Amino acid sequence: MNTEKPSSKTSPSRPLTVFLAVQAILVGVAAAGAGYRYLQVEADSEMPALRTLPREVASENDEPQVITDRELASVLRKLRPRFDGVDTKIGIVDHNLRFWGVEATFDDPAFV
């Protein structure tokens, strides 16, 4: 007759296998997420195509209750480009060209 008692302990290899499988799945999910995010950042960092002329933004409506012609003229007078000769920063020139366009002319010689 067999007098050995059945072992009440479970095999140590089964919990270890489950643990390692879960860890492998977690590492795989983390790696997939990191790869997806990397591709997203790469796509966002691409430069847009250069344009020779800026896009034109047209007025969608003419609402005199929002701003009168007199108020608009006053604001546009303040936005006229002023150049300081050789000390003018290129950012100011670039901004003025974008705002007014190349074809803009001004009556006052102080404004180019």
Segments making up each domain of the chain, as ranges: 13-48, 79-112
CA 11 to CA 8: how far, in whole Å? 9
pLDDT above 80 for 101: no
For the stretch 21-63, pLDDT in tens is 999 999 999 999 999 999 888 877 778 788 887 777 777 777 7
**CA-to-CA dists, residue 110 to 44, 74, 77, 86, angstroms:** 42, 17, 13, 14
Q: What is the pTM of this model?
A: 0.38
